[in-house]
Chains A and B, each alone.
Chain A
Amino acid sequence: MSRRTYLLKRVLQAMFSLFIIATILFFLFRLGLPDPTAALITEGLNAEQREAVRVQFGIDKPLWHQYALFLWNAVQGDFGVSFAYRAPVAEIVWERLGNTMVLMLTAIVVAYAIGVPLGAWLSWRRGSRIDTVGIFFGLMFRSAPMFWTGMIAILVFGVWLTLMPTSGMRTLPYEADGFFDKIFTLDFLWHLILPATVVALYYLGSPLLIMRNTMLEVYGEDFIEMARAKGLPERRILYNHAARNALLPVVTQLAVTIGLAAGGQVVVEVVFSWPGLGREILNAVRTSDFPLAQASFLVMAAFVITLNLLVDVLYTTLDPRVSFK
């Protein structure tokens, strides 16, 4: 199989996955909320608006018709109007997605920038006390639930030391024209530090341990023996020969992590009142704002699938041994 057909096949598979997920999503919501407008009577939706919603989602039509309508709208990128915000869902979702990604990407970059070299170093010092301590802390941060570390961080840095802001992305009230105007400020950075640190600490463990374990496997390979025999310095073997070859699983993990990042860490966004997609989906489902909930979920799924696809493509370039089957 040529590379091109392989890629084409993977893209088709990804689209198929997304289609299946959209289908599951549709039936899950119909099962849980048979008439989405019913939940809104108390919200003060008047008869006219209710009727508009019913038409848009085709509530009166048979189930298969609603399903087709849902798919058709989704393909066109029309997710309807949010019940709670009275605004097009797509706009809300994109804005929240941006907020989430800023936080998660910062945290992930920090975690991998620290975790990968640290893991390589630990593998070099394998069996030593430093190795044990490193593993211990890596696993410890991974075991601590983030909503808890977040609360403790707020308690210590926000309440006791009053060093950091503890909620939101900016000090209220603020004015910003668009997304980048909002985030390219010191005030935003100041708000970012605490939540990003909490997430980064949680993520730190996986690059650290994966890197360490893969390095241990790579050390057994012949080319390492060869490098040693050539009399290369240990440090150079570590970083130039072993680490490079151990990076592959870390890259995979990185892409998977970024993919899942769109789903955000719901609890971190809740604890720090970060207006991200995760918190939005929680609120949307709670308030039965189901156009918003559906769209958020679909966007998250699309993100994960795209990143997973990217991993596979990346693999074919990074590791020529991978066969296109």
Chain B
Amino acid sequence: MILSPSLREAFKPLRLMLQDRLAVIGLMVLLFIIAMALFAPVIATHPPRQINEVEDGSVLARGPAGWMLQPSLGPVALNGAAVAGGQALIVGRDGTVYERAGQDWAPVDAGTGADLNAVALRDDGTVVVVGAGGTVLLRSGGTWSEVPAPAPADLRGVDWLDGAAAIMVGAGEEIWQLDADTGEITELESPVGRGFSLRGVARDADGTALMVGERGLAIRYDPASGDLELERLGSSRDFNHIHISPAGAALVTGERGTLVRRDAPGARWETEPAPDTRALRAGWIGDDGHAFAVGRNGIVMERDTEGTWRLATTESERHLRALLVEGDSALALGSDRFVVRLAAPSRDYWFGTDHLGRDLYSQNVHGSRIALLVGFLGAALVVLIGTNVGLVAGYYRGRTETILMRTVDVMYGIPFEPFALILVLLFQPSLLIVILAVSLLTWRTVARLIRSQVLSLRERPFVKAARVAGASDLRIMYLHIFPNVMPLVFLELAIIVGVSIIAEATLSFLGLGPPHSVSWGGILHDARLSGAWRTAWWWNLPPGILIMTTVLSVFFISRSLEVVANPRLRARQ
């Protein structure tokens, strides 16, 4: 391909640039960051401001140092658990059933997709599971079968009674009795009949069943006589769960830290003071009065045999819904949707999450937009003002020059960072003010540099020739002199892009960046404000590295531009 000599001359700086390895790397990195800014919504895995929540089958095990988080069982919340005869079962949302196999939990296919709420296990291994939509599952002899329900009730609690009978309760005050041998369900009539939600049921020591529900409702069922009677527990709070020990100690847990306890069959029910008033979803009590209760936000309470309830240390804020106690070991199970706060980098969140559960990778990707926008717009403004002032001052000289250059002198007396701060703080932060704050002072350098170049250029023969040929001042300035300062202009442009990006990051870091924008400095601002940056290293590292890489790439390019602009550097390299 044959290029005209003048065109070849024009591409010479580019060729020089491409010979500089650092400049090529810089150019590639910068193009990469620009692509990142352009395609941010596509590259980001999450919306940058979205508060991410996940559901998780969380298991907390009681240990000497508190209740510690165990490996998650899966992505769904766990609702109920039962242990008997050496076997243990956990049920959860979406038809999830886990059975204990040695030290681990193995998923079991129970043949349903409905949310399962409660499970009861008999010593001989017979299992009944109840759930939403009238789901009743029976496992006897190792095979699961679904028992046809009389109504699509939302069943909340289940327990075995003597013989083959199981009792289950539902959210619409349903009380059903299952005969495990025949697989038939009998509907019992509640003595209240107002559609109160029943949430828990347990077999009492004397063979009757006690069920509890909202507004302090408690109903005793005697399977021998078939009688259903109201019982008073001395509280009108909503009850969530009941557990009765083999010897007859009983614990009812409910909303707003409700704890109602009975020592033995026939003893008085007593409301006990709870150390926290959040909802308690499940409880467990032993024959000796040792008890646990678990609830929302990782609340675990423990009652010693003397009768004092204490808040136990827990490792997480997951919502706990069930307890599985066997001998000395105890597991708390549960977890609704919870916000993924301060999660370390993982497959879902490549750079982890911040204190509000927002994905940091996506924030970093989107942050490139504001950095490049302010960087390039600010630099363009700076170069535009600086070049023109420099051209005019250098070309016209005289009074024009004096006034312009004295202005520049004055501007050199203004410290940059404090000035930008004052500007942004006095006038509400907006994108425009931030760009102005970044560029209003920086043009002073460009103006000085360009002027000094123009001063020598205007005395060159080609300028005099143009003047003799009758070219206007504007024509000489912009068509004859300007092309000769172009390399210098590009050099300054590159440097100031870098300076502007750092300035924007600095303002954002101080919380003075463009509002409602995601920026690298802003991410670090959040990190510092939250105080969590001292532990969450994944929060600090990426934005700084990105700022550094971007600015560095621009500086590399500017360095090779410097060689283009200043041939004296070129000759000896």
A residues at B contact (CB < 8 Å):
13-14, 16-18, 20-21, 24, 28-29, 31-33, 126-127, 132, 135-136, 139-140, 142-145, 147-149, 151-152, 154-155, 159, 213, 216-217, 219-220, 260, 262-267, 270-271, 278, 281-282, 285-286, 293, 296-297, 300-301, 304-305, 308
Contacts and interface: CB of A to CB of B under 8 A. Distances in A.
* Top 9 A-B pairs, shortest CB-CB distance: A32-B426, A263-B415, A148-B544, A143-B551, A143-B552, A305-B413, A285-B425, A144-B548, A17-B410
A264 to B, nearest CB: 8
B509 interface: yes
Interface string B553-572: 00110010010000011011
A80 B547 CA distance: 41
B548 A145 contact: yes
Contact of B412 (A262, A286, A304): A304
Contacts of B502: 143, 145
Contacts of B415: 260, 262-263, 297, 300-301, 304
A308 B413 contact: yes
A254 to B, nearest CB: 16
Contact of A265 (B21, B417, B541, B551): B417
8 contacts: A132-B22, A143-B498, A143-B502, A148-B540, A213-B569, A264-B417, A285-B421, A300-B418
A282 B569 contact: no
Contacts of B249: none
Contact of A216 (B419, B509, B572): B572
A144 B572 CA distance: 30
B22 A135 contact: yes
Given A144-B547, A145-B548, A281-B418, A220 B426 contact: no
Contacts of B571: 220
A151 B422 contact: no
B524 A148 contact: yes
Contact of A32 (B427, B505, B543): B427
Given A29-B426, A281-B418, A266 B510 contact: yes
A129 to B, nearest CB: 11
Interface in B515-565: 521, 524, 527-528, 533-535, 537, 540-541, 543-544, 547-552, 555-556, 559, 562
Contacts of B412: 17, 304-305, 308
B426 A143 contact: no
B418 A155 contact: no
Contact of A127 (B423, B524, B573): B573
A142 B558 CA distance: 14
Contacts of B559: 135, 139
B540 A152 contact: yes
Contacts of A301: 413-415
B568 A220 contact: yes
A142 B553 CA distance: 12
B509 A267 contact: yes
B426 A147 contact: no
B270 interface: no
Contacts of B15: none
A271 B550 CA distance: 22
Contact of B425 (A24, A220, A286): A286
Contact of A20 (B21, B410, B543): B410
B352 to A, nearest CB: 15
A304 B416 CA distance: 11
B528 A151 contact: yes
B572 A155 contact: no
B268 interface: no
B548 A155 contact: no
B409 interface: yes
A151 B540 contact: yes
A139 B572 CA distance: 21
B544 A149 contact: yes
Nearest to A209: B559
A220 B573 CA distance: 12
Contact of B568 (A20, A217, A278): A217
B406 interface: yes
A143 B419 CA distance: 21
Given A32-B427, A145-B509, A139 B556 contact: yes
A301 B409 CA distance: 12
B506 interface: yes
Contact of A21 (B414, B505, B510, B573): B414
A262 B416 CA distance: 11
Nearest to A271: B528
Nearest to A131: B573
B412 to A, nearest CB: 6
Contacts of A267: 417, 506, 509-510
A296 to B, nearest CB: 7
